[in-house]
Amino acid sequence: MSPQPPRARRTGAEESTTSSEASEDVLDRLRAGDIAALDEIYRVYGDRIFGVCFGILANRADAEDATQEVFLRAFQQAVKFSGKSRYSTWLLRLAANHTLNFAKAVKRRKRVSRALPEDVASPAPDPDHAVIGRERRAAVVRLLQELPPEQRLTLVLREIEGLSYFELSEVLGVPVGTVTSRLIRGREKLRALVTDSESDLLAPG
Amino acid sequence: MSTMDCLTTQKLLSAMLDGELPSDLTRSVERHLNQCSRCTEEAEELRFLSAIVREAGTRAPVGLGARISCSARDTQQSPASWTAALAAAWPRAAAVLVGAASVALISFPLRSAPSSPVETRTTFNLLAFESQAELDLAGSFGEDFQALARRPEGLLLHILSGGER
Ligand SMILES: [Zn+2]
């Protein structure tokens, strides 16, 4: 069997990032405090940032709040983006830091951080994913919650965002070797969880 | 050419499937997979895992963008007041903030209640939630507080609306 054909946004590092970056002009306007520029930024990155936040937080309300916070920070701190990295990298770093802190705080509050089924089982209408089945998605998101936050974040950024290892190391601020081992350990753990879950939804094939 | 062993193959599988291995190593792993059913099975499982996590991705809900630009507009009116902007278009956080603000106001009753949006922001500024951790702390005041704050006759809502205490 050959690998699954990837979704458009995930066709490898080069394409995933160059085809969907905001223009310099928009970033300049954002720095100048132009709300319309923020709207454009959101149109380009909104789904991606929300997808990552949801993958980490497993709760739509939290993911919405986190997404809002990320974009508001992007707006308020627009001048801090120097252009040294890609804008998506910078934005994802904001999202990563925020969701990681949030996830850790949640974990501290309640040792067992299982998302409520209704939180994950009622996604917004989403034609692309209609066939996949909400229950399965909910089950996966719940299982992801069992991973340590760093592993979860790395895995979600890899699979959902399609970031390369180099991009992951930039976004997460860790060496590529750490990225590699987090992915190996995260996948091992997730595989064990899927096996243990005995859910038909998660049976391959 | 010598063939790679199972242990090495399995260590490299994750990075190989991510397309992160140099091509010569990728070829070595592929050669091993061609003659080892156990490692092939391992690879299939990893592909399956990738697929299900990928499918867990979802789109942003309709209206979130509008909510964000709305609150950004608010921050612009009062650039110093970042928390207030959040509160303006962030109902859940607002409830938490309102709950916490009640605490602040109970401790330090304000003589003149804020009556305009700008003054309201000033009230929020007193709270100065700089981090999610602090916000979480405010959230931990519990349901009762938030319920109180949410009620029309809730203490702070009363104050926020410019009424007398
Ligand atoms: Zn083998």
Q: What CATH number does residue A186 fall under?
A: 1.10.10.10
pLDDT (average), residues B74-93: 57
Q: Is the pLDDT of residue B141 over 50?
A: no
A112 and A84 in one domain? yes
Least confident of A90-99, A104-113, A138-147, A151-160: A104-113
- Looking at the 3D structure of chain B, how many domains does it have? 1
In a domain, B157, yes or no: no
Interchain contact B65–A (C-beta under 8 A): yes
Distance from CA of A161 to the nearest CA of B (A): 8
Range of the domain at A193: 128-205
Q: Say which of A42, A54, A128 has its CB closest to residue B68.
A: A42
CB spacing of B65 vs A39 below 8 angstroms: yes
A57-87 per-position pLDDT tens digit: 888 999 999 999 999 999 999 999 988 889 9
A79 and A154 in one domain? no
In a domain, B41, yes or no: yes
A145 and A162 in one domain? yes
Q: What is the pLDDT of residue A167?
A: 95
Q: How far is the CA of A54 from the centre of ligand 1 (A)?
A: 36
A105 and A144 in one domain? no
Q: Say which of B51, B76, B90 has its CB closest to residue A68.
A: B90
A186 interaction partners in chain B (CB closer than 8 Å): none
* Domain end point (choices A119, A142, A157): A119
A64 interaction partners in chain B (CB closer than 8 Å): 60-61, 64
- Looking at the 3D structure of chain A, how many domains does it have? 2
In a domain, B142, yes or no: no
In a domain, A7, yes or no: no
Q: Which two tokens stand for residue A184?
A: 């190996």
Q: Which two tokens stand for residue B28?
A: 């070595």
89-128 in chain B: CB under 8 A from chain A: 89-90, 92-93
Q: What is the pLDDT of residue A123?
A: 45
pLDDT (average), residues B50-74: 90
Confidence tier at B74 by pLDDT (50, 70, 90): confident
Q: Is the pLDDT of residue B123 over 90?
A: no
Confidence tier at A155 by pLDDT (50, 70, 90): very high
In a domain, A106, yes or no: yes
Secondary structure element (H or E) that encloses residue B107, with its range: helix B91-107
Bigger pLDDT: A105 vs B61: B61
Cα B83-B89-B93 angle, rounded to 5 deg: 60
Q: What is the CATH number of the domain that holds A42?
A: 1.10.1740.10
B146 interaction partners in chain A (CB closer than 8 Å): none
A98 and A142 in one domain? no
Range of the domain at B52: 1-58
A109 and A40 in one domain? yes
* Domain end point (choices A66, A98, A119): A119
* Domain end point (choices A86, A119, A152): A119
CB spacing of A109 vs B136 below 8 angstroms: yes
How far is the C-alpha of B71 from the C-alpha of B89, rounded, in Å? 5
A50 interaction partners in chain B (CB closer than 8 Å): 58-61, 64
Q: Is the pLDDT of residue A177 over 70?
A: yes
Residue of B nearest to A68 (CA): B68
CB spacing of A35 vs B72 below 8 angstroms: yes
A143 and A105 in one domain? no
B17 interaction partners in chain A (CB closer than 8 Å): 3
Q: What is the pLDDT of residue A44?
A: 94
How far is the C-alpha of B134 from the C-alpha of A129, rounded, in Å? 36
Distance from CA of A35 to the nearest CA of B (A): 6
Bigger pLDDT: B54 vs B144: B54
DSSP characters over A46-98: HHHHHHHHHHHH--HHHHHHHHHHHHHHHHHTGGG--SSS-HHHHHHHHHHHH
In a domain, B143, yes or no: no
Q: Say which of A3, A71, A137 has its CB closest to residue B55.
A: A137
Predicted ipTM of the assembly: 0.74
Establish how many alpha carbons lie within 13 A of residue A80's alpha carbon, considering only the half-sphere containing its beta carbon.
9
A83 and A50 in one domain? yes
pLDDT (average), residues A139-158: 92
A150 and A202 in one domain? yes
A145 and A183 in one domain? yes
Positive or negative, the CA dihedral B136, A116, A163, A181 is: positive
Q: Judge whether B148 and A118 are in contact, CB under 8 Å.
A: no
Q: What is the pLDDT of residue B92?
A: 53
Phi then psi for A190, rounded to 5 degrees?
A: -65, -40
Q: What is the pLDDT of residue A115?
A: 42
Query: Is-above-0.80 flag for pTM?
Result: no
A112-133 per-position pLDDT tens digit: 444 444 344 344 445 554 545 6
pLDDT (average), residues B84-96: 51
Bigger pLDDT: B58 vs A39: A39
Least confident of B30-34, B51-55, B58-62, B93-97: B93-97
Percent of chain B with pLDDT over 70: 45
Q: Is the pLDDT of residue B131 over 80?
A: no
Q: How far is the CA of B10 from the centre of ligand 1 (A)?
A: 7
Q: Say which of A3, A47, A75 has its CB closest to residue B75.
A: A75
Q: Is the pLDDT of residue B63 over 70?
A: yes
In a domain, A29, yes or no: yes
B6-42 per-position pLDDT tens digit: 999 999 999 999 999 999 999 999 999 999 999 999 9
In a domain, A1, yes or no: no
Percent of chain A with pLDDT over 70: 74
Protein residues within 5 Å, CB atom, of ion ligand 1: B 6, 36, 39
